[in-house]
Structures are given as structure tokens and as C-alpha cells.
Amino acid sequence: MIAVTGASGALGRLVIERLLGTEAPSSIRALARSPEKIADLAARGVEVVEADYDRPETLTPALTGVDRLLLVSSSEVGKRAPQHRAVIEAARAAGVGLIAYTSILNIDSSPMILAEEHRETEAMLAGYPGTVVLLRNGWYLENYFGDVAAALAHGAVAGTSGEGRISAAARSDYADAAAAVLRDPPATSTTHELAGDTGFTRAELAAEIGRQTGREIAFANMGEAEFAALLVKAGLPEGFAAVVADADAAAGKGALYSDSTALSTLAGHPTKTLEAAVREALTAAG
Ligand SMILES: NC(=O)c1ccc[n+]([C@@H]2O[C@H](COP(=O)([O-])OP(=O)(O)OC[C@H]3O[C@@H](n4cnc5c(N)ncnc54)[C@H](OP(=O)(O)O)[C@@H]3O)[C@@H](O)[C@H]2O)c1
């Protein structure tokens, strides 16, 4: 039995779709705090089970009988360490043989606020009695779809990442890699630094949007505080804007760059290009 947490989220759902390509639906368990969100998966024969990180009593039953677990990191920044601890403890109690965890790229040196909870989680997993696979995911290309929308509206993309190269890849690339690990697990614990094949700077992103739209698109690089203020003005809550600006500033120092080819190797294909992602974002923007 293969279980995936966060199955109602974008990445978890993609992983389950990939698994359904090769595995019997009855050997896949989709875990979600709101199972009704994934009723369509139940209709396709996947076992859908309630698993709320904040309600440990749901976790051990949800993990009983599971051989391999993908713990998709929680989206509730600030609550993630205790939430992940609850899942790992339940997995231990249920005797889950393998845990794969979606961590963050370059965790050993990353100055990002967002890296801290991943570091705590990796430390918890270091003591796990079974096999542990650390999927240290880089940024999603989809994170930059907002830049495409901003470029269309204002003729510029804004950020604080300067000349920093960003090795982003599509969610679907990371999903392919996670599904490959669950399908064909390693014999021993493994760590993968997962990044897009070709990095890009924000200026290159702006240039690519300009090329595809036939417009002049600038990259407005600014200080971290100024960028955070701009994000607040655009509607982000203050705390989250600070975290995003912090991540972007860290990207300027190389925190989201890697020349690792582990992602395309695991996924079995090259990762999505910047050109394809911009085309997709422009299509989505109409
Ligand atoms: N690499 C990147 O660029 C990047 C960007 C954003 C996030 N991330 C990280 O990668 C993870 C997966 O990305 P994603 O795009 O799939 O995010 P997502 O669509 O926001 O999915 C997050 C999942 O976590 C679940 N979750 C949150 N709190 C929970 C709880 N208390 N109990 C059980 N489940 C809970 C959500 O359930 P509900 O559907 O009930 O909310 C959802 O299924 C994120 O959660 C975040 O840790 C990475």
C-alpha cells in the first residue's frame, strides 16, 4: 500500500494521478483532512482516508497497513514542525517501511525562513527506523505565473532576487520524481536535491515574457522591504509577504539554484523549460 498525504493539494493530487498510471487503485491510499475534496479519487477506486495533521487520532489508523508513505509538507507555515512530527510518529507506530518527504532545495546552506521547518522535519526523520527518502524540491515554475500576470498588467516583473539564478521546475516534474520513488523505492535511505535542468534569472524571465508577448518587459529589482511592501499592496497578508520576500532575497544569494540533474533523472524526462512555462501562464491568463 502506497499512501500520499496532502492528496487534496496540487502536488499530492498529481502524484496520485501518476501512480494511477501504473498501480492498482486499491493499492493507493489518498490522505486528506477533508476527504470530500477528493471524492473523485474514491470513485476511481483509490482508498480515501481522513488524515488531519492537527488531529493525531486520525493519523495512526490512516497509516495502518501502509508500506510506503509520501509526506507532502504541510502548507500551514509556522505549524509544520509539530504537524510533521505527528505524521512521523504515527508512521512509526503503524510500522510504515518507507517515508519520502518533500523538503527544500539546498537545505544545508539555505538562509530562507521557509527552510527552518524542513530542517526540523529532516532532523526528526534522521531517527526513523525505516527507509527515508528526502526529496529536496526546488521552486515550482508555477510560483512565477503571478509574475506573468503582473508583466501583462504593468509591463514589468518585480522582485528582490537580483542576478540570482533559480532552478525552478514544474509541479508535475516533482510529482513524476516522487511517484518514481514510491513505485520503485531505494533499498537504503537517500537524499535527492531536485531542481530544474536550466536555471534562469528574473531578468531572463522578464525577457522571455517580452519575447512571447512582443512587448518590452522590464525586471524591477528592489530591496527586500520594498518588495515585501509591494506584495502587501498586491493583497498578500503582511506575514506571508515577508516570508515570500525573504525567499526571493535568498534566491538572489543562490538558495534556489542547483546544477543537480537528479530531478530529470528520477522523473525520466527533461524538466519543463522556462519557455514552456511562460507559454502556459500566458494561455492561462487568456
Ligand atoms: N516548492 C515550491 O515552490 C513550493 C511552493 C509552495 C508550497 N510548497 C510546499 O509544498 C507542499 C505541496 O505543494 P502544493 O502545491 O501541493 O500545496 P497545496 O496545494 O497548498 O497543498 C497543501 C496540502 O496540505 C494539506 N494540509 C494543510 N494542512 C493540513 C492539515 N492540518 N492536515 C492535513 N493536510 C493538511 C492541504 O489540505 P487542504 O486541501 O485541506 O488545505 C493540501 O492538501 C506545500 O504544502 C508546501 O509545503 C512548495
Task: Judge if the beta carbon of residue 50 lies within 6 A of ligand 1.
Answer: no
Looking at every residue in the chain, the average pLDDT score rounds to 97
Task: Judge if the beta carbon of residue 258 lies within 6 A of ligand 1.
Answer: no
* Per-residue model confidence as pLDDT tens digits over 89-106: 999 999 999 999 999 999
- How many A from CA of 162 to the centre of ligand 1? 28
Cβ atoms 23, 183 nearer than 8 A = yes
Give, as one character, the DSSP assignment of residue 34: S
Q: What is the pLDDT of residue 138?
A: 98
Q: What is the pLDDT of residue 94?
A: 97
Q: What is the pLDDT of residue 285?
A: 87
Q: Does domain 2-137+170-194 have CATH number 3.20.20.70?
A: no
Angle of CA points 159, 161, 167, to nearest 5°: 115
Q: How do the pLDDT tens digits run along the chain, 286 residues long? A: 999 999 999 999 999 999 999 999 999 999 999 999 999 999 999 999 999 999 999 999 999 999 999 999 999 999 999 999 999 999 999 999 999 999 999 999 999 999 999 999 999 999 999 999 999 999 999 999 988 988 999 999 999 999 999 999 999 999 999 999 999 999 999 999 999 999 999 999 999 999 999 999 999 999 999 999 999 999 999 999 999 999 999 999 999 999 999 999 999 999 999 999 999 999 998 8
Ligand 1 atom closest to residue 75's alpha carbon, by position in its atom list: 45
- How many A from CA of 7 to the centre of ligand 1? 9
Torsion sign across C-alpha atoms 4, 9, 12, 16: positive
Helix, strand, coil shares, percent, the chain, to 5: 50, 15, 35
Q: What is the pLDDT of residue 286?
A: 81
Torsion sign across C-alpha atoms 88, 90, 91, 95: positive
Amino acid in position 262: A
Task: Judge if the beta carbon of residue 137 lies within 6 A of ligand 1.
Answer: yes
Neighbours of 79 (CB within 10 A): 13
Task: Judge if the beta carbon of residue 10 lies within 6 A of ligand 1.
Answer: yes
Of 261, 258, 216, 224, nearest to 244 by C-alpha is 224
Task: Judge if the beta carbon of residue 139 lies within 6 A of ligand 1.
Answer: yes
Task: Judge if the beta carbon of residue 54 lies within 6 A of ligand 1.
Answer: yes
- How many A from CA of 97 to the centre of ligand 1? 23
Q: What is the pLDDT of residue 146?
A: 87
